[in-house]
Structure 1
Amino acid sequence: MNMWEGKKVRLRAILPGDWTLFHENDQDSDGARLSDATYFPRSEEGTRLWAERQAAMEPDGDNMMLAIENLEGELVGTINSQQCNRRNGTLQYGIAIFRPHWRKGYGSDAVNIWLRYFFYELRYEKVSAYIYAFNEGSVAMHERLGFKLEGRLRNMIYTNGRHYDEFVYGMLRSEFVVRH
C-alpha cells in the first residue's frame, strides 16, 4: 500500500513537466483569489522555471508542497504545509484544486492523506487552515472533514476592491483519529 495514495488521488512531487498545467491554472484569476491572491501575469518561461525550482526544492523542515494527481495521473492541484512547529506539534496547511476538478472529492481525499502523514508519521497534534470567508467551497469541505471554526479575523484579506474576513479552522489529532 502506498501511504501517499487515497481513494481518488495520490500526492507526489511537483515535476518540471507540470508547468503547462500550472500556467493554464494561472489564467484563472477568480480561482487564484480563493486560495491566495491574484498576481501579475507570468510568462510561460517563468512558469517553466518555477516548476523546475519546485521540482528541485528540498523540504524546509516539515514545510513542503506536493502535487495532487487523480488516480488516472492527471495533475489536479497542490497541497502544502507551512508554519510547522515540531516543538508544539502544530502546523498550517493550504490546498488548491484546479477549477476543472472542483467538487469531485479530490480535495477531501488529499487532505486526509496529508493529515494521516502529519498526525501518524510526524506526531503533530494540531492542524490549522486559514480560509477566506468568501471561499464557501473550502469552508464546506473543511466542515465536512471535521474541522472546527476557531476564529474569525476581521478584514484580513483585500481583494476585488474590498476587505474580507478570514476564518481559522482547526483539527486535533484526536478528532482526526475518531473520524478515521
Structure 2
Amino acid sequence: MLFESTRVKLRKMTKEDTKLYHKWRNDLEVMHSTSPSLDVYPMKATEDFVEYAILGSDVSKGYIMVDKETETPIGIVSLIHIDYKNQNAECIIDIGEKAFWGKGYGAEGLNLLLDYAFYELNLHRISLRVFSFNERATRLYKKIGFELEGKSREALFRDGKWHDVIHMGILQVEHFKKREAK
C-alpha cells in the first residue's frame, strides 16, 4: 500500500523503523501535545511495542510519512483499535521531525490515512482524541472534516493544569464529500 500527495507519501512501517520511532517517541517536545504519558521508554519497550502493537496486530496499522522531495521520514500516522465488524478505527498522527511542523505535512498525511481507511479498508467512521490545549491540531482536524463529538473533562494533567480531552470523528460519506469538493 502506498498513497501519495503533493509532498508526502506513506509507506508501511517496518521493523527497521524502530530506531527512528524510538527517537520520536522519546522526544518530550514531540509527545507533549499527543501522548497522554510523557514517559521515556527504553529501546526494548519500543521494540516490543512496534513488534506487537504495530507490526504484529490485525487491529493496528502504522505508516511512516515520508517527504517526497528529500525522502526524509518525518512522522507516523496510524489506525488503531480497528473494529472491522463495526467498521470503526481511531487515528493517531505524530510529526516527529520538528523542522516539518506547521507546514501542512500533517494535513497531507492525515488525508492519505483517511483515504486508505475509507477507500481501501471501507471503514465507516474514524475517530481521534486531541488535548484541549492543542488548538492548532483541533483547527486542522476541523478543516479536514472531523466533527466534535464530545469531551472527557479534565482528563489530562499537563504543565500543572487539568485539560479536557476532545473527541472528534469523521464518517466515510463526509470524507468522500470533502474530497469531491476539491
**Are 2:61 and 1:64 equivalent residues in the alignment?**
yes
Q: Does the 8 Å contact 2:14/2:55 carry over to 1?
A: no
What is the SS of the residue equivalent to 1:109? Answer: helix
Equivalent AA in structure 1 for residue 91 of structure 2: Y
After TM superposition, list the pairs within 5 Å mapping 1:87-166 onto structure 2. Answer: 87-98=85-96, 99-166=98-165
Structure 2: unaligned runs, 5 residues or longer: none
Cα drift, residue 126 of structure 1: 0.8
* CA distance in 1 between partners of 2:50 and 2:158 (Å): 29
1:9/1:47 CA distance change after superposition, 3 Å: farther
1:3/1:53 CA distance change after superposition, 3 Å: closer
Superimposed CA distance per residue, residues 34-74 of structure 1 (whole angstroms, 9 cap, x where no aligned partner): 111311353xx5488469747x923x224111111110210
* CA distance in 1 between partners of 2:2 and 2:40 (Å): 37
Equivalent AA in structure 1 for residue 164 of structure 2: D
Map of 2:166 onto structure 1: 167
Q: TM-score, normalised by structure 1?
A: 0.84
The answer to which of 18-27 and 141-150 deviates more is: 18-27
1:124/1:49 CA distance change after superposition, 3 Å: closer
Map of 2:74 onto structure 1: 76
Q: Does the 8 Å contact 1:19/1:51 carry over to 2?
A: no
Equivalent AA in structure 2 for residue 68 of structure 1: M
* CA distance in 1 between partners of 2:143 and 2:118 (Å): 19
What is the SS of the residue equivalent to 1:34? Answer: coil
Cα drift, residue 90 of structure 1: 1.2
Cα drift, residue 155 of structure 1: 1.0
1:136/1:125 CA distance change after superposition, 3 Å: same
Aligned residues: 176
Structure 1: unaligned runs, 5 residues or longer: none
What is the SS of the residue equivalent to 1:130? Answer: strand
After TM superposition, list the pairs within 5 Å mapping 1:20-59 onto structure 2. Answer: 21-26=20-25, 28-36=27-35, 37-40=37-40, 42=42, 46=44, 49=47, 53=51, 57-58=55-56
Q: TM-score, normalised by structure 2?
A: 0.83
Cα drift, residue 30 of structure 1: 2.8
What is the SS of the residue equivalent to 2:66? Answer: strand
Give the alignment's Cα RMSD to 1 decimal: 2.5
Q: Does the 8 Å contact 1:70/1:76 carry over to 2?
A: yes
Q: Does the 8 Å contact 1:68/1:76 carry over to 2?
A: yes
